[in-house]
Amino acid sequence: MAAFAAFARTAAALAPRAAVVLGSGLGGAAAAFVERAAVPFGAVPGLVPPSVHGHGGTLAVGEWGGVPALLVRGRVHFYEGHPWEVVTGTVRTAAELGARRLVLTNAAGGINPALSPGALMAIRGHLKLLGPAAWRGLAAGDGSVRPYAARLIEVMRAHERAGGRELLAGLYAALTGPSYETPAEIRALAACGADAVGMSTALEAEAAAARGLEVAAISCVTNKAAGIGGTALDHAEVLTNAALAVDRLGALLGALIRAPY
């Protein structure tokens, strides 16, 4: 692991305060990031390379708008066959490298009618449907989990208001995948209050909060969820529509990185 040891030395010298995870097709949002060193996931203890198209699988350190930061290009998913401790491995690594804030992004399906392809949503809480008894748990109560910092949600909303835009702060439903949800499942999620749906983020956010990191998360809506948009879903559409929001997302990520710690 000599490559990672060298990377860790560079990171220690820069002392990054924030880590950003870029989801499917969102690599263009890091245009303001100036890389100083990078290492592939496979060279990092506890991480494995992603197998999903659109996830680069590298860990980089540098400056984002002059602020030292870590950048995680891509992620691995439970549906790729990995246990949860591997899925959240980037969180552990970021914390060990000194990050105090984790900013997660993902590509998501829009359930809320206000969310069209290219829209952004700040995540205020999530529904975790990641096990065989998940729906039973929702039936017992609200079921939402909220490891996301209210202060950072307000930073995002204030940034968007300054640009004359409103940013929805909504509930994200996390499912295991790899198949997209059925229209019936989307109707059930809507009835539970979900605004967007995807296959990541929830466990990463919880793992970061458990380690004392301040957490923010943003969904980039890449398609209407099944049964809402009227067309079949596919991963190519996700990658294409993710590009619609990268400039706006990049500016929003910059605001989060610069926010006081």
Q: For 176-217, how does the pLDDT look when each residue is reduced to its tens digit (9 = 90+)?
A: 988 888 899 999 999 999 999 999 999 999 999 999 999 999
Alpha carbon separation from 195 to 105, 116, 119, 126 (Å, rounded):
15, 11, 12, 10
pLDDT reading at 230 higher than 60: no
Side-chain-facing half-sphere of 216: CA atoms under 13 Å? 27
pLDDT at position 225, please?
A: 73
pLDDT at position 232, please?
A: 57
- Min mean pLDDT across 83-97, 128-142, 156-170 is at 128-142
- Helices 202-210 and 89-96: crossing angle in degrees, nearest 10, is 30
Q: Which residues are catalytic?
A: 24, 55, 77, 79-80, 107, 199-200, 223, 235
pLDDT at position 147, please?
A: 97
- Min mean pLDDT across 31-40, 45-54, 87-96, 189-198 is at 45-54
pLDDT at position 143, please?
A: 64
pLDDT at position 253, please?
A: 98
Opening angle at CA 141, ends 170 and 83, nearest 5: 70
CB within 8 A of 208, min separation 6: which ones?
91, 94, 95, 102, 147, 215
CB within 8 A of 197, min separation 6: which ones?
108, 109, 111, 172, 173, 174, 175, 181, 186, 189, 225
pLDDT reading at 153 higher than 70: yes
pLDDT at position 131, please?
A: 75
Provide the 10 A C-beta neighbour count for residue 98: 17
Taking the C-alpha atoms of residue 47 and residue 57, their distance in angstroms, rounded to an integer, is 9
Domains, the chain, ordered by start? 2-258 (3.40.50.1580)
For all residues of the chain together, what is the average pLDDT? 90
Taking the C-alpha atoms of residue 170 and residue 146, their distance in angstroms, rounded to an integer, is 11
- At 221, is the pLDDT very low, low, confident or very high (cuts 50, 70, 90)? very high
pLDDT at position 193, please?
A: 94
Higher pLDDT, 142 or 135: 135
- At 245, is the pLDDT very low, low, confident or very high (cuts 50, 70, 90)? confident
Taking the C-alpha atoms of residue 59 and residue 210, their distance in angstroms, rounded to an integer, is 21
Q: For 70-111, how does the pLDDT look when each residue is reduced to its tens digit (9 = 90+)?
A: 999 999 998 888 899 999 999 999 999 999 999 999 999 999
Binding-site entries for a purine D-ribonucleoside = 181, 223
pLDDT at position 25, please?
A: 83
pLDDT at position 177, please?
A: 86
What percent of the chain shows pLDDT beyond 70? 88
Binding-site entries for phosphate = 24, 55, 75-77, 107, 200
Binding-site entries = 24, 55, 75-77, 107, 181, 200, 223
Task: Give the residue-averaged pLDDT of 223-232.
Answer: 64
